[in-house]
Chain A
Amino acid sequence: MDFFSVLYYRFKKVWKSIRLYLVIAGPGLVVMIADNDAGGITTYAATGAKYGYHLIWFLLLLIPVAYYVQEMTVRLGAVTKRGHAEAIFESFGAFWGWFSLIDLMFVDWLTLVTEFVGMTAALSIFGVPAWLTVILVVLLMSIIVLNGRYWTWEKIALGFCLLNLIYIPAAFMVNPSIASILGQGLIPNLPGGFNNELFFLLMANIGTTIAPWMLFFQQSSVVDKGLQEKDIKMGKLDTFIGSIITVAVAIFIVIVTGTLLNGAPIDDAATAARMLMKTNHYIGAFMAIGLFDAGLLGAICISLASSWAFGEIFGWAHSLNTKVKEAPWFYISFFITLATAGVVPLIPGAPLVLITLFVQVVAVTLLPAALVFLILLLNDKKTMGEYANTPLQNIVSSLIVVMIIILSTLYGISALFPNLFK
């Protein structure tokens, strides 16, 4: 009897924790899964096609990288109740504040263009014209955002996150060799030795794992959701689960292209989807649907990151819990960012390759600054109190941040000067 009482008590306790998690879950999952945006899908597809399963071990290393950086935004948001832009303005003054805000606006807008490029390319595979895709996406995203409740928005976004898992059945459908995945993928190795091409792809994988908008988005999202200090533990768990899912999805994409397109030149995910369709129609279709979903998720988060940041600084009402009448500028800035970025892929002869390269370069100017600010803010004991970084957290996060800064800088410089590392 005693045994059953203990068992029942433990079950109730676990069930209570699960229910609490389900309430708090959201910002971490959404930001991490949205991290696999259109650009990310292209990078993973190219990684699999070029090196097969050989770089899966490297993708696994990105779990702690993504987690340690993003969990800091959870603590910062929950303790200060301020978004990242406002925190930078307040702590480091107007110069660094404007620098971050204007840079964020550029990076977000340019990244948003690349998301639309991915979405239009994905739906063109099914014969949907680009203009129709853009109109549908802008309409759909406006409807999602205009419902006036953060909770509803988050649940819809989580629904799209679920669709991002479409790569998992796709990977099973290609019947990969488990022995090859384990043998080639889990043992750290550098296929073909360390060369420029490999280095560029590794840097691209890191670049897609941590993007500037993610820091701003998750912190603002935590604030908008109203997470408190007591929710930090669950918020961190949410981020950790999200980082595992994002890397898992990346690995399944690598498995798909590594199995069916090994050695094929892949410039973008839409090309990969078209090539996959020739082998297996359903897998190609899954790839295209996944690419569209990735672009949509990325677009949802990126456009919100900008609107939240501007709202914080300009003092506009900036919550998804407000109606259009109560926060007109928040929604206007969201819509303008979205619509102007959506128009670009429709312009004949638009320099889309140049825009993609420009995203990498401009991101390099913002990411190091945002990461350095993050660590400095997390060390401000006066504000953070018991939630400030511990010495161990400082060592781990500083190492990760320094590594990201070095690699993303090299990535940006290699985009500026493609022949430099050849």
Chain B
Amino acid sequence: MRMLKQFIRKIREINQRYAKPKIEMSKGVSFSLAVLRVYLFVLVLLMIYKFITVL
């Protein structure tokens, strides 16, 4: 239990440390990250679809 609490505290600490992206969010960077989100979303949808159809 103590270890789990320590682990959660560590995760929170990491999230706080890296809360703000340091890279300059230019239009190119924002666009790339947006495309990446869409790409991954579609891929996850495909995987879910496959999982459901296999079941």
Contacts and interface: CB of A to CB of B under 8 A. Distances in A.
B10 to A, nearest CB: 6
Interface residues on B, range: 20 to 34
Interface string B21-51: 1111000110011001001100110110010
Interface stretch (A205-213, A337-345, A369-377): A369-377
Given A94-B15, A372-B32, A376-B32, A413 B23 contact: no
A368 B39 contact: yes
Interface in A66-109: 89-94, 96-97, 99
Contact of A372 (B15, B20, B36, B43): B36
Most buried by A among B20, B21, B40: B21
Contact of B46 (A99, A314, A372, A416): A416
A19 to B, nearest CB: 38
Interface residues of A, number: 27
B36 to A, nearest CB: 6
A365 interface: yes
Contact of B10 (A97, A314, A364): A314
Interface string A356-384: 00000100110011001000110110100
Contacts, number: 54
Contacts of B32: 372, 376
B18 A89 contact: yes
A417 interface: yes
A144 B12 CA distance: 34
A313 interface: yes
B19 interface: yes
B14 A94 contact: yes
B4 to A, nearest CB: 15
B43 A92 contact: no
Interface in A282-335: 313-314
B46 A369 contact: no
A67 B26 CA distance: 28
A361 B14 contact: no
A227 B51 CA distance: 45
B41 to A, nearest CB: 11
A104 to B, nearest CB: 14
A255 B36 CA distance: 39
Contacts of B33: 92, 96, 372
Contacts of B46: 413, 416
B36 A368 contact: yes
B40 A94 contact: no
A377 B23 contact: yes
B19 A93 contact: yes
Nearest to A101: B14
A361 B28 CA distance: 27
Contacts of A96: 33
Contacts of B29: 376
Contacts of A313: 14
Nearest to A97: B18
Given A372-B32, A413-B46, A416-B46, A92 B24 contact: no
A77 B14 CA distance: 21
A332 B53 CA distance: 39
A93 B17 CA distance: 9
B15 A90 contact: no
Given A92-B21, A416-B47, A369 B36 contact: yes
A406 B15 CA distance: 32
A94 B22 contact: no
Nearest to A91: B23
Nearest to A369: B36
Interface string A369-413: 100100011011010000000000000000000000000010011
29 contacts: A89-B14, A90-B18, A90-B22, A92-B21, A92-B33, A93-B18, A93-B19, A93-B21, A94-B15, A94-B19, A96-B33, A313-B14, A314-B14, A368-B39, A369-B36, A369-B40, A372-B32, A372-B33, A376-B28, A376-B29, A377-B23, A380-B23, A380-B24, A382-B24, A409-B39, A409-B43, A416-B46, A416-B50, A417-B50
Given A409-B43, A416-B47, 5 more contacts: A94-B18, A372-B32, A376-B23, A377-B23, A380-B24
Interface of B: 10, 14-15, 18-24, 28-29, 32-33, 36, 39-40, 43-44, 46-47, 50
Query: 10 closest pairs, A vs B, by CB?
Result: A93-B21, A91-B23, A94-B18, A89-B18, A94-B15, A416-B50, A92-B21, A91-B22, A90-B22, A372-B32
